[in-house]
Every structure is written in structure tokens, then in C-alpha cells.
Structure 1
Amino acid sequence: MQANNENQETVVIGGNLNDAVNGQYTLSLSDAFKQTFELTKKHWVPIFLGFLAFMGILIIVSFITVSFLPEAWLEEFSTPDKPLSKQALLALSLFGAAVGAPFWGGLLLMGIRHSVDIPTKAADIFNGFSKAGPLILTLVITSLITQSSIMLLTELHWATGILAQVYLTTVFAFSLPLVVERGITPLNAIFYSVRIINYKLPAFVTLMLIVTGLIILSLLMFGIPLIYIVPLIFNLVGVVYKEVVGVTVNLDQEQPKDDNKPWTA
């Protein structure tokens, strides 16, 4: 977020990026969840409505896209007992990443703003389009690395493929937030995310597994809990991001600023 006029001062609330990339931060999962539950009580409606809008747009885009797919792929889709080829799966994954990246950025930015108790509205899911190019590039790169690694390692053993998915999904978690909130370039954002999260990898993996468990549990209950779980997840990402990296906000009067200029890879 940039200052709107000369009288505004940008400050950072929470962690410090310089400290984070050097592993000098603490992360309490219990405190993070406590903050998240309190914030979600106040800010769950905008994220949920925004997420519904995103899903609706994604469905429409998917229907339009199907009409342009190669006939060979369409035949694969129409044959339930025949798995999709690796090339088709990878292409669909990258396409989904490119289409969804600006919306994911908007949703993540909403959660980040909620972490410092700044209200949002459902239309804020479109705020990610101001950084659409970097967000798309970031998500395409991380998706390409993740999917390629899973495919290769699954050839060795199914367990190594799962471990690769868990690890890469976890270490890339801060990539999009760093792009959309700090305006960091895609490659640096990916580098920072991997470096930061590796310092406290067990805690972040635990966090990711808890989130995955909540989603699976919600689906087993016909998806009804997702009304609350979806906003909670985005707010949780915002809270953890705030505690580790810090969130930039604008004040109307001068205040001391943290030295949060990131170093480059």
C-alpha cells in the first residue's frame, strides 16, 4: 500500500521482512489461531462473498475454455476410467494458475488487511488486478515447479510425490502475499518465501496440515462449514503473514518507520 498524499506516513505493523529472511522471528500457532478466530467473527462476510464471486467467474471461464481445448483432451475428459495425460494435467494446472492468480491475490490482500483490523468489501477481490502480471508469473512459476516435481517424484514412489507436494505448497505460501502486499518481484518473492518458511518449517507444515484437515472435514459435511472456514483460512494467512513479515499501513501523521527494505536474491 502506498501513501495517498504527502501527509501520510507508511509504517509496518507486526514482523520485519529483514528479520524474517534471516530467520529472526517467532511464530506461535496458538496465538495466530486466537487472533484469527476473533478477526473472522468481524470480517468473514466480505471474503466469503468475494470467494463465491471468484468461483462463479472461474466456472464461466472454464466453460468458455473447454470449447477451445484440443479434441484429444476432450476425449480424455469424456472417458472417466482413463486418467488425463501428464501434459494435459500440467497445462490445465498452469491455465488455472494464470486465470486465478489476480483473484487469489485479492483474497489474500483482504486477509492481510483484516489482520490489522482494516475492513474490506467483497469487490476487493479485484484489487489483485493492479498487480496481475507479477501475480500470474509468480503462481505459474510455483505451480510449474510443484506439478513437475510431483510428477517426477511420484515415478519413484507415491509417498515422495506427496512429500514434495506438502513441502512445496508450504514453502511457497508467502510468494503471492509478498507480491500483492509489498510489491516484490516474482522471483524475489518466491526466494523470500522459501527462505523465510524453511526457518520454521515444522510449524508451517503443521499449519498447512491443519488447514487441509479443516477443508477435508468441511467437504465431508457437504461443504456447509466452508461458509466460515474459507474466510478463516484467508484471515489466518493474513495473521501469520503479519506476525512474520509485517503489514504496511498508512497513517495520517508522521510515525517512526521500521527498516523493512528487503534485500535482493
Structure 2
Amino acid sequence: MSTDSSPNPFAPPASVLQDPIASGTVPSIEDALARGYDFSITDLIKEAWQRVSGAKGLIFVGFIIYMVVVQAISFVLGLILGVGYAASGAEPSGTAVVLQMVVGILAGTVGYPFMAGINMLGIRRAADQPISFNEMFSHFGQFVPLLITGLLMTVLIYIGLLLLVLPGIYLSMAYILAIPLVVERKLSPWQALEASRKAISQHWFKVFGLFLVLGLIMLVSMIPLGIGVIWTLPLMVISVGVLYRTIFGVLPPAN
């Protein structure tokens, strides 16, 4: 009887992919990027859908708060900068158009702590962690890094869109996980942008396909008076959470 204990060269290679939820381990950012990952668009959406129940109210209300805050900031900044249309209905000047764009960018970035809260609701739901309304207001301590991340991300995407459009489309997908990386892993703005880009680039087209499918689902859900958005908006948020968990794992919440 042979006593050779060497590995069978004809055996299938063992997968290095691990589900952090199943294994109970959370890899470092470097380990997560090095080990690789994969997912099925259909399976990911199915899992996210199963987690919508019990979370949709919090996520939907959180998104409404985010939109109200962004609109309020836009209104205030518009008054400060004198952005608005003439009462006569005249077309806005080129300067007014640029100012409106600046107001929109600033309002969106100032609202990023709220967006981070929405992201974390989806991520915690994907990781079977408790979620609460307080999550929406838990990340203002990281306002500066979130603001810098949002500004960098927006500027780089805009530059990419100006450079033949395709680089902007690539970056708009590649940076999708930057905000939660700032709040969940406490990365610096540039570290978060690069970690997100490197991770998404491993399966960029599949991630693009995921958001294309989710976008179509959102579009269809708007047809009956938009009522379906109550379910499909949380579906999209939790889908991002499942994607994040699949790539990076999720740390337990701080006590």
C-alpha cells in the first residue's frame, strides 16, 4: 500500500473564495483584494430581496431624509450664490448654469453622511446585524473624510465623462463602495476610492450588469404610480450591501 501523502495532482483546485458570514472571519482590505471574489447577479438579487422585509421602512424613510436634506442645502446655497431663474422666464446664462452645477455637487457631497447611513443600513442588513434609525445620524464624526471622498469621486467622474465618456462610466461603477469603506473600515478618502476601484475592477462588467438589472427593476416599479419603489429602492440598497459583504466582509458594530 502506498504511503505517499503528496497531493493528488489531478484533484480540482480548492477555491480561495470564502463567505465572511459563513466563515466568521472578516479579511483585511489587502486580503480581500488579494483573494478575489465572484457572485451571481441572479443569486445576489434574490438574497437581497429576501432581506427587504423588515428593513424597507427604515431604508425608504432614510432615503427621504437624504433627499430633503440635499434639496434644503441646494436651496440655501442657491440663495447664497444667487442661483435662480429670472422671473421673466429667460434662459439662464452660462455662469448661472455653472453655478447650478456647483450647487448640486456641493449639496450632494454635504449630504454624504446621510448617504453613508443608508449604505450602512444595507450593509448591516446583508450581514445579519441589527439595524436602527440611529444609523442615519451616526457618521457625522466622519464628515470631513466623507466630504473629501464625495468631492474627489464627483470631480474624477466628471473628468472621466469629459474624456470620451467611457472613463467616467468606468469610475462611476468603480467608486460605488468608496463611501461605505470610509465609514465601515475607516479608510482615508483616497484609500477608499482605490480599494473600491480595485475590487470592482475584478468583475467590472458583472457589477455593471448588476446595476443595469437593478435599474430596470426600479424603472418598472415606478410604472404603477411609483408605489413599487417602496420595495425596489431598499432592494437596491441591500444589493449593494450584499456586494460589499461578498467582497470585504463586514466588521461587527462598535459597542
Q: TM-score, structure 2 length as denominator?
A: 0.80
Give 4+ residue runs of structure 1 displaced > 4 Å after superposition: 11-16, 76-86
CA displacement at 1:63 relative to structure 2: 2.5
Whether the 8 Å contact between 1:15 and 1:25 is mirrored in structure 2 is no
Q: Alignment partner for residue 52 of structure 1, among 64, 70, 73?
A: 64
Residues 83, 198 of structure 1: alpha-carbon distance in 2 compared, 3 angstrom cutoff: farther
- 1:110 paired residue number: 121
Q: Aligned partner of 1:94: which letter?
A: I
Aligned partner letter, 1:110:
L
1:181 and 2:180 are equivalent in the alignment: no
Contact 2:149 2:189 in 1 (8 A): yes
Shift of 1:166: 2.8
Match of 1:135 among 133, 142, 146: 146
| Aligned equivalent of 2:213 | 210
The offset of 1:12, in angstroms, is 5.9
Aligned to 1:22: 34
CA-CA distance at 1:250 after TM superposition = 5.8
Runs of 5+ consecutive residues of structure 1 not aligned to the other structure: 1-10, 154-159, 253-265
Which ranges in structure 2 are unaligned for 5 or more consecutive residues? 1-22
The structure, 1 or 2, with the larger RCO (C-alpha pairs under 8 Å, 6+ apart) is 1
* Structural mapping, 1:125-164, within 5 Å: 125-150=136-161, 152-153=162-163, 160-161=164-165, 163-164=166-167
Which letter does structure 2 place at the counterpart of 1:87?
V
Residues 149 and 190, structure 2, Cα contact 8 Å, conserved in 1: yes
The Cα of 1:220 is off from its aligned counterpart by 4.1
How far did 1:227 drift? 0.9
Instruction: Give the CA deviation at 1:132.
Output: 1.4
Q: RMSD of the TM alignment (CA)?
A: 2.8
1:198 equivalent in structure 2: 201
CA positional deviation for 1:17:
2.9
Separation in 1, partners of 2:93, 2:114: 29
Give yes or no for contact 2:122–2:237 (8 Å, CA) kept in 1: yes
* Deviation at residue 185 of structure 1 after TM alignment: 0.7
Compare CA radii of gyration and give the structure with the larger one. 2
Task: Using the aligned pairs only, state the percent identity.
Answer: 25
Does the CA-based 8 Å contact 1:13-1:242 persist in structure 2?
A: no
Please report the TM-score for the alignment, with normalisation by the length of structure 1.
Answer: 0.77
Please tell me whether residue 69 in structure 1 is matched to residue 81 in structure 2: yes
Given that residues 115 and 235 in structure 1 are in contact (C-alpha distance below 8 angstroms), is that contact kept between their aligned partners in structure 2? yes
Amino acid at match of 1:29: I
The amino acid of 1:74's aligned partner reads G
After superposing the two structures, state which structure 1 stretch, 225-234 or 77-86, moved more: 77-86
Alignment coverage as a number of residue pairs: 232
